[in-house]
Amino acid sequence: MKTLSVYEVIRAPLVNEKATLLSEQNKVSFRISSDATKSDVKKAVEELFKVKVKSVNVLNTRGKVKRFKGHEGVRSGYKKAIVTLEQGQKIDVMAGV
C-alpha cells in the first residue's frame, strides 16, 4: 500500500456556490487524490489546518460530456471530499496553506 503525503492527498479547496453554502454548516470541500481514503483525508486536514475533523464524506464526480465546434469531448472526472469540522473549528480556504 502506497502512503501519500498530506500535500498529495489534498489537491485544492473547492470554491463554488455549493461549497459556500456548506461552509455555513461547518463543512469544507476539497479536491483530493484518487488514491486517498477517508482516513487519509482526515489526517491530512487535521495536520495541515490544525483543526479537529468530525467526519469525512468522499465521492467521485464523473467528467461532463461537452461539445466544442461539433466535436464531443469529456472533461476529466475527480474525487472530492466534504469535511465536517467539530463545533467551533474553522478553516479559511481563501487564505491558503
Decide if 94 is inside a domain. Answer: no
> 61 in a domain, yes or no?
yes
Q: Which CATH number goes with the domain that contains 26?
A: 3.30.70.330
Q: Using the predicted structure, report yes or no on whether residue 97 has a pLDDT greater than 60.
A: no
pLDDT in tens, 3-53: 788 889 999 999 999 998 999 999 999 999 999 999 999 999 999 999 999
Question: Does 45 map to a domain?
Answer: yes
Neighbouring residues of 47: CB distance < 8 A, sequence distance ≥ 6: 6
Note whether residue 91 is domain-resident. Answer: no
- Domain extent, residue 38, equals 6-85
Residue 73 and residue 66 in contact, taking contact as beta carbons nearer than 8 Å? yes
Q: What is the pTM of this model?
A: 0.86
Gap between the Cα atoms of 67 and 42, Å rounded: 37
pLDDT for residue 54: 96
pLDDT over threshold 60, residue 70: yes
The answer to the question of residue 72 being in a domain is: yes
